[in-house]
Amino acid sequence: MLKIRKEQMRILNELMFCKFENFMVSHLRRFYTERCLDLGEEGIREEVRYGIEHAKTYNIVDERNVCKYIDVMFAFGRDFDNDPDLPWAGEILRNDAIGSPVERMDILCRTAIDKMQG
């Protein structure tokens, strides 16, 4: 029987985090080029880490939806979920009646796209 020790699990988690962070840096540079140039490498990584931690407060923890959360964050601002000019964002994220965090992120992204286009 294979047994994974806590230390091995910690290292695996760190590697997965690093891989995701690197993916996000590349993704953000592709879609938010100017903002990333302004932030620089370490600034981008700090924003990614901030987004990951902030997404957790809404139980958004899977990579796909954390990526979406960070995309919305880059499009609308670091604290978009508490911005009085964007009340819809916080309302969606805090609405437990919407069901799962995945559903909330789908609604958030659709609404964000609508707001950007209209």
Q: What does the pLDDT look like over 84-118, one tens digit per residue?
A: 999 999 999 999 899 899 999 999 999 999 999 97
Q: What does the pLDDT look like over 23-43, one tens digit per residue?
A: 999 999 999 999 999 999 999
pLDDT of residue 10: 67
Q: Which residues contact 74 (CB under 8 A, 6 or more apart)?
A: 28, 31, 32, 35, 47
Would you state the structure tokens that stand for residue 46, as one six-digit string? Answer: 């700090």
This prediction has a pTM of 0.89
CA distance linking residue 39 with residue 24, whole number of Å: 14
- Closest by alpha carbon to 105, among 53, 75, 61? 61
Mean pLDDT of the chain: 93
Domain boundaries, the chain: 6-117
